[in-house]
Chain A
Amino acid sequence: MSPSAIQVSTGAPLIACNGLRKEYRMGSEVVHALDGVSFNIGEGELISIMGASGSGKSTLMNMLGVLDTPTSGGLHIEGNDIAKMNRDDLARLRNHTLGFVFQNFNLLPRTSAVENVKLPLMYGNLHGFNADERAKECLELVGLGDRMDHHPNQLSGGQQQRVAIARALVNGPRIILADEPTGALDYKTGKEILQLFRKLNESGITMIIVTHDQEVGEFCDRQLVFRDGKLLSDSNNLQSMGAAE
């Protein structure tokens, strides 16, 4: 059994969803983007959230990233009840505990890689890092030690995504949320990014990857599959692999 699987069974959940619901009003119609979803995510997991478009996976991603609040149901991150936190508390949580990686990288244009990576440190520096040193360290970790002063338009898609990952790492988060991180990349580059995620996961960071790509889903240790706002399946690839062996 892998260490991450042990943590799932024994450790207190890092993220706990309990009957999570999100409703949107579209004119007179009420859309249930999330329809009573419950699951836990433990520290150190590498997990994928899968589903077709409209399945509610993006909504869930926004919930887990505390960019959005649920209509009802409980969401606890690091044991904190999200419903009881105000806008500033949520911002602090995003800054200290979470790192985001987006499909389209979302780097600041005309701004060097190192400045992009420093961005989260501007809004909070939990570990008291030296901003420049820490940003360089993170860029080296993602293999861009020689591209620090390049602007996004001077970097390939894969390199831009690496800068975005370095930015997600810079504040020493416990969780990284990636939204279709390979969606805008070619197959080979996508694979490299996934390998990088694996490496980060092995260093202890919980990785949550939202994707519709079956291959990416299978790459992760655990797969949550959604359909029409409901959790369809929760499968552990390690267990099935272990069973196969």
Chain B
Amino acid sequence: MSIIKCFQIAFIALRLNALRSLLTMLGIIIGIASVIVMVSISDGAQQQIDERINSLGTNMLMVRPGSSFFGGRRGGAGSAPPMTETDVSVLKELNFVEGVSGYLRSSGAMVFSGTNWQAEVAGIHPDYIDVRQWEIEEGRNFTEREVKTGGKVALVGQTIINELFSGNDPIGQRFRIKNIPFTVVGTLKGKGQSSWGQDQDDIVMVPISTHRMRVSGRRSSASVNSVGSISLTVDPGFDISEAEEEIKYVMRDKRKISPGSEDNFSVRNLSEFIEARSATQRTLGVLLAATAAISLVVGGIGIMNIMLVSVTERTKEIGLRMAVGARGIDILNQFLVESVVLCLVGSVIGIGIGFGLTELIGSLGEWPVLIKSTTILIAVGAAAFVGVFFGFYPARRASQLDPIDALRTE
């Protein structure tokens, strides 16, 4: 008997008991819908994390001053001598370093034709834009010369454009930060919120030397060359942990740390933070998928139950089919296909409902969701497996009935 015929017979048999078939399918429908929803939610969260990691740059390292250790007294984080311009130039020399930039930050009041605003003012080297995956939307980046000479030029973020320049093109405009006039030479493409919920576009960038001399106003001898922390990117072909080790070695040497003493600086890979979070998300995803799988198993048990009832109910039919020439395998196939059809039809409905629910959660709950085609394949595969697995025992029972006994039942 051909497989198409098997499916036809199954459809006919299921249609004869439409309500019961639907109720039986309900378990599978709910199971598949929850698989789709759960997996899509966890995939969505995973995708968001991946995007964040990529936006930070997986090949980026941060070098920061650590705590000072002086006569048994330990200072807090950042109390050790800051990173300096010399550190930047030393790191720049390393052949695996792509770009390197210092980063000084302070908050400053700014004024443009009667409007004022308070925002973060960052002092940077030109490489900062590439290292931290910013993009110049219009205008230009700073030149090395501007950095060297303390040029009073600025790059402004999208929030600044909206708040300070009322959305108008700011390039070439002059405005004041802490009463010092700056000229806007470029605008920064929007980055949106950071993973910590901070508006990353509420920023003005100025050359690091200008920042040091005029904005942060640090004039002490210790900070005369300070660049705060250093961000750098490693050549993508170079192993990041090896680069980390190398940088540590160079910096220890540079900062004259005697062997055996602790580092008074740290080299961190930013994606480490995110990866820890991502691991939590993955655990959550596994839990969600397990919950969904359990509901699928419950649905499968429902199918098995109904198939057993169906076999008992149709014993006479089975006897008749055997009498007119059905082999054991034909009867087995018939009931197996019925159970698989139940599951597949249920899974199609479940996929529809799962899709709808996922979209609803995505739009109403503003939750990141991602429906992958593999999710659907897995769902259909799982349904077919449930159909075969839970349908096999009842089908086998049907196929092993004695035709005489089966015909004799009323």
Contacts and interface: CB of A to CB of B under 8 A. Distances in A.
**A and B interact:** yes
Interface stretch (B94-102, B260-268, B326-334): B326-334
B403 interface: yes
B323 A100 contact: yes
Contacts of A108: 317, 320
Given A62-B404, A87-B327, A106-B407, A122 B320 contact: no
B324 A120 contact: yes
B404 A120 contact: no
B264 to A, nearest CB: 84
Nearest to A179: B407
Interface string A93-104: 011100010100
B340 interface: no
Chain B contact residues (Cβ within 8 angstroms of A): what range? 20 to 34
Contacts of B404: 62, 67-68
Query: Which label, helix, strand, loop or mixed, suits the secondary structure of the B interface?
Result: helix
A141 interface: no
Contacts of A122: 1, 5, 9, 326
B16 interface: yes
A143 interface: no
Contact of B325 (A68, A106, A111, A120): A120
Given A106-B316, A108-B317, A110-B16, A119 B324 contact: yes
Nearest to B319: A106
A88 B325 contact: no
A95 B324 contact: yes
Given A62-B404, A106-B316, A108-B317, A124 B323 contact: no
Interface size class of A (residues with CB under 8 A): 20 to 34
Given A67-B404, A110-B16, A122-B1, A92 B323 contact: no
A65 B5 contact: no
Contacts of B328: 87-88, 91
Interface in B40-92: none
Contacts of B407: 67, 102, 106
B322 interface: yes
Interface in A140-154: none
A167 interface: yes
A123 interface: yes
Contacts of B327: 87-88, 91-92, 123
A86 to B, nearest CB: 10
Residue of B16, B316, B317, B324 contacting most chain A CB atoms (<10 Å):
B324
Q: Interface centre among A62, A122, A124, A171, by most B CB within 10 Å?
A: A122
B180 to A, nearest CB: 91
Contacts of A92: 325, 327
A124 B5 CA distance: 12
B1 to A, nearest CB: 6
B321 interface: yes
Contacts of A67: 322-323, 403-404, 407
Interface string A108-129: 1011000000011011100000
A106 B326 contact: no
Interface in B1-37: 1, 5, 9, 12, 16
Given A68-B404, A108-B317, A167 B325 contact: no
B325 A95 contact: yes
Contacts of A91: 322, 325-328, 330
Interface string A29-72: 00000000000000000000000000000000010010110000
Given A106-B316, A106-B320, A108-B320, A124 B403 contact: no
Contacts of B326: 91, 95, 122-123
A13 B407 CA distance: 29
A108 to B, nearest CB: 6
A169 to B, nearest CB: 12
A100 B317 CA distance: 14
Nearest to B410: A104
B312 to A, nearest CB: 16
A124 B2 CA distance: 10
Interface in B305-363: 316-317, 320-330
Contacts of A65: 323
Given A110-B16, A122-B1, A122-B5, A96 B325 contact: yes
Contact of B330 (A68, A106, A110, A123): A123
Nearest to A110: B16
A100 B324 contact: yes
Nearest to A62: B404
B216 to A, nearest CB: 87
Contacts of B320: 106, 108, 119
Contact of B324 (A62, A68, A88, A94): A94
A100 to B, nearest CB: 5
Contacts of B16: 110
A102 B322 CA distance: 14
A102 B403 CA distance: 14
- By CB atoms of chain A within 10 A, which of B317, B321, B325 has the most? B325
30 contacts: A65-B323, A67-B323, A67-B407, A87-B327, A88-B328, A88-B329, A91-B322, A91-B326, A94-B322, A94-B324, A94-B325, A95-B326, A96-B325, A100-B323, A106-B316, A106-B320, A106-B323, A108-B320, A111-B12, A119-B320, A119-B321, A120-B324, A120-B325, A122-B5, A122-B9, A123-B321, A123-B324, A123-B326, A123-B330, A167-B324
Pick the 7 closest A-B CB pairs, nearest first: A95-B325, A120-B324, A123-B325, A91-B327, A67-B403, A123-B326, A94-B325
Interface of B: 1, 5, 9, 12, 16, 316-317, 320-330, 403-404, 407
Given A62-B404, A67-B407, A122-B1, 6 more contacts: A88-B327, A91-B322, A91-B326, A122-B326, A123-B1, A123-B327
